[in-house]
């Protein structure tokens, strides 16, 4: 390889890096980021039984632990869902309702809930509109993010926990926050 070819390759690599950085910046800056203290975006989605569920139906009644997860029946999501199941009574004792959301359809949620005896509702966000409204980013641009929100009775976000790879910590974080509310 001569000097001219070497420069061409280097400039090509630098151009590709610049293009990726620019695309990443555009994607990140166009997504709204929800912060603690913000009002949680309203939504209505269908649960695993095809029934509509609205966040507003909990307003002035219960705190809500809203957890977004990537996909039904995957190892991390199953571990997270089952730990929410195992601690469900602790959540209800603290006056909170647990709700899971992913892009899977109602029938997938129904099977997942039945297979693992999940006592809470799983909502289908097939177009990822709610996920986007809550500002949840994909991991490595491919895997839907795993984020949990603790929302008080007035609809205000009190805590946000984001960890793709420590799925079970979402439950511990949420319970810890609820104990202070």
pTM of the predicted model, to two decimals?
0.77
Distance CA 111, CA 95 (A): 27
More confident residue, 49 or 166: 49
Question: What are the residue ranges spanned by the domains of the chain?
Answer: 1-30, 33-178
Q: Tell me the pLDDT tens digit for each residue of 75-133.
A: 878 888 999 999 999 999 999 999 999 988 999 999 999 999 999 999 999 888 998 88
Name the residue with tokens 């509109």. Answer: 129
What average pLDDT does range 152-178 have in this prediction? Answer: 81
Confidence of residue 27 (pLDDT cuts 50, 70, 90): very low
Residue 82 catalytic? no
108-113: long-range contacts at Cβ-Cβ below 8 A with a sequence spacing of 24 or more? 108/72, 108/73, 109/47, 109/48, 109/72, 110/48, 110/49, 111/72, 111/73, 112/48, 112/72, 112/73, 112/81, 113/48
Q: Which of 66, 77, 101, 177 is catalytic?
A: 77
Q: Which CATH number fits domain 33-178: 3.40.30.10, 3.30.565.10, 3.40.50.150, 3.40.50.1000?
A: 3.40.30.10
């Amino acid at each position: 390889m001569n000097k001219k070819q070497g420069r061409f390759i280097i400039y090509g690599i630098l151009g590709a890096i610049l293009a990726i950085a620019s695309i990443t910046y555009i994607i990140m800056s166009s997504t709204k980021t929800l912060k603690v203290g913000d009002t949680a975006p309203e939504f209505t989605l269908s649960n695993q039984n095809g029934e509509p569920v609205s966040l507003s139906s909990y307003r002035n009644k219960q705190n809500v632990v809203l957890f977004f997860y990537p996909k039904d029946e995957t190892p991390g999501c199953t571990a997270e869902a089952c730990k929410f199941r195992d601690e469900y009574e602790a959540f209800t004792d603290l006056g909170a309702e647990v709700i899971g959301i992913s892009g899977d359809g109602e029938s997938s949620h129904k099977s997942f809930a039945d297979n693992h005896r999940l006592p809470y509702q799983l909502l289908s966000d097939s177009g990822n509109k709610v996920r986007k409204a809550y500002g949840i980013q994909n991991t490595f641009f491919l895997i839907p993010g795993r984020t949990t929100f603790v929302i008080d009775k007035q609809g205000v976000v009190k805590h946000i926990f984001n960890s793709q790879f420590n799925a079970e910590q979402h439950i511990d974080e949420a319970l810890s926050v609820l104990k202070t509310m």
